[in-house]
């Protein structure tokens, strides 16, 4: 047992170091350039891809959640979203816009496994470059830099608009909702998965929740989170939704992802060799945010929202 106290001291020292780096290197949202620069940096150093794989989003662990490989859960999420959204009933050749495509993991699954013609867009030039490198010839997925707040495509360009966890980076959720619906063809399908906060119109954030929420915004270049109810209303206020927006809460199904993210650093020590001391410190500074995310989603401060809407004719 003589090793116990030095080991505990080392762990405490690491935690203190992580908190110091975390608090001194926040990535507060200032403009779209803040988001682009953050993702460029994460992509260039390769740390996020090493630990999170091709899918920079949470995994799906079932309901109730089951033990599952972290990377497999991320692929499963895409297939579960396809089924929930009804994309599995669409024919090959369906045109899909993947908004906030990251390094193209979801786009490649949609193109390879379902035969869709996918265009992935991200605000990060480095993500586009890496997505192109990872996409084999013959897979119908192309990538380009574009701004989801002002999409470069004409009205009615796509059969499907798909987006995973891009919304928190959008400074004006109403503009984001309008752009998503605008580029859909009549009867086209919108399917969105996003991090959301509790609807504070119903239950305002309390004294303890406000600083936690501010940290979740400041650390990963988020201007604001929408609520599930609020974003659903914004979609319908565009006047472009046919009928009603369908929503679901996938908090339970995705919750294990946060602690699994931290476990990756322990289970894959080769990352220490690959990325060295600077990579270790960069990884360590994300741990407090991951823990806060787990606490926020577990306590109901945050929720994982799913949205499905159909584009109407003539704006109805």
> How confident is the model over 264-308, as pLDDT tens digits?
988 888 887 888 888 888 888 888 899 999 999 999 999 999 999
* CA neighbor of 85 nearest in space, from 19, 159, 136: 159
Specify the pLDDT at position 3: 46
Helices (H), 183-286: 209-219, 228-237, 251-254, 257-267, 270-284
Cα distance between residue 158 and residue 51, in whole Å: 33
253, 221, 218, 286: CA torsion to nearest 10: 60
For residue 13, give the 3-state DSSP assignment: helix
Which residues does residue 309 pair with via DSSP β-bridges, in sequence order? 190
Which residues does residue 117 pair with via DSSP β-bridges, in sequence order? 95
DSSP structure class, residue 203: S
Residue 13 binned pLDDT confidence (cut-offs 50, 70, 90): low
Residue 313 binned pLDDT confidence (cut-offs 50, 70, 90): confident
pLDDT per residue over 86-130, tens digit each? 999 999 999 999 999 999 999 999 999 999 999 999 999 999 999
């046919």: which residue's tokens?
242
> Helices 125-134 and 32-45: crossing angle, nearest 10°?
40
Specify the pLDDT at position 99: 98
Cis status, amide bond into 64, omega within 30 of 0: yes
25 has a pLDDT exceeding 50: yes
Which residues does residue 53 pair with via DSSP β-bridges, in sequence order? none
For residue 21, give the 3-state DSSP assignment: helix
The two most distant CA atoms of the chain are separated, in Å, by: 75
pLDDT per residue over 38-92, tens digit each? 999 999 999 999 999 999 999 999 999 999 999 999 999 999 999 999 999 999 9
Residue 91 tokens, joined? 């024919």
Residue 107 tokens, joined? 């786009």
| Continuous segment of H or E residues that includes residue 128 | helix 125-134
Which residues does residue 161 pair with via DSSP β-bridges, in sequence order? 97, 190
Q: What is the pTM of this model?
A: 0.92
Cα distance between residue 61 and residue 70, in whole Å: 9
* CA neighbor of 22 nearest in space, from 304, 292, 300, 303: 292
Cα distance between residue 54 and residue 75, in whole Å: 9
What does the DSSP assignment read for 285-302? Answer: TTHHHHHHHHHHHHHTSE
Cα distance between residue 164 and residue 143, in whole Å: 16
Full set of structural domains in the chain with CATH = 26-315 (3.40.50.150)
Specify the pLDDT at position 281: 83
Q: Are 139 and 112 contacting, i.e. CB atoms less than 8 angstroms apart?
A: yes
DSSP structure class, residue 151: -
* CA neighbor of 148 nearest in space, from 196, 200, 183: 183
20 has a pLDDT exceeding 80: no
> Higher-confidence residue: 239 or 14?
239
pLDDT per residue over 172-205, tens digit each? 999 999 999 999 999 999 999 999 999 999 999 9
């Amino acid at each position: 047992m003589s090793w116990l106290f030095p080991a505990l001291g080392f762990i405490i020292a690491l935690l203190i170091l992580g908190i110091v780096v975390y608090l001194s290197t926040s990535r507060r949202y200032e403009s779209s350039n803040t988001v682009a620069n953050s993702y460029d940096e994460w992509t260039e150093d390769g740390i996020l891809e090493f630990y999170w794989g091709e899918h920079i989003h949470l995994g799906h662990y079932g309901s109730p959640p089951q033990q599952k490989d972290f990377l497999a859960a991320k692929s499963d999420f895409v297939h579960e979203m396809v089924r929930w959204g009804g994309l599995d009933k669409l024919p090959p050749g369906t045109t899909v816009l993947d908004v906030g495509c990251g390094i193209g993991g979801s786009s490649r699954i949609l193109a390879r496994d379902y035969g869709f013609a996918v265009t992935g867009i991200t605000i990060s030039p480095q993500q586009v470059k890496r997505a192109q490198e990872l996409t084999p010839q013959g897979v119908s997925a192309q990538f380009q830099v574009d701004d989801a707040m002002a999409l470069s495509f004409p009205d009615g360009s796509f059969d499907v608009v798909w987006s995973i966890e891009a919304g928190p980076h959008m400074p004006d959720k109403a503009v984001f909702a309008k752009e998503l619906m605008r580029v859909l063809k009549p009867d086209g399908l919108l399917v969105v998965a996003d991090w959301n906060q509790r609807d504070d119109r119903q239950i305002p954030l309390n004294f303890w929740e406000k600083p936690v929420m501010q940290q979740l915004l400041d650390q990963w270049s988020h201007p604001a989170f929408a609520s599930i109810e609020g974003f659903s209303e914004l979609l319908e206020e565009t006047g472009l939704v046919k009928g009603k927006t369908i929503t679901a809460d996938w908090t339970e199904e995705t919750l294990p992802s946060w602690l699994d993210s931290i476990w990756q650093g322990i289970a894959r020590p080769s990352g220490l060799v690959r990325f060295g001391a600077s990579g270790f410190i960069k990884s360590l500074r994300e741990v407090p945010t991951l823990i806060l995310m787990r606490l926020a989603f577990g306590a109901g401060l945050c929720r994982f929202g799913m949205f499905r809407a159909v584009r109407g004719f003539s704006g109805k």
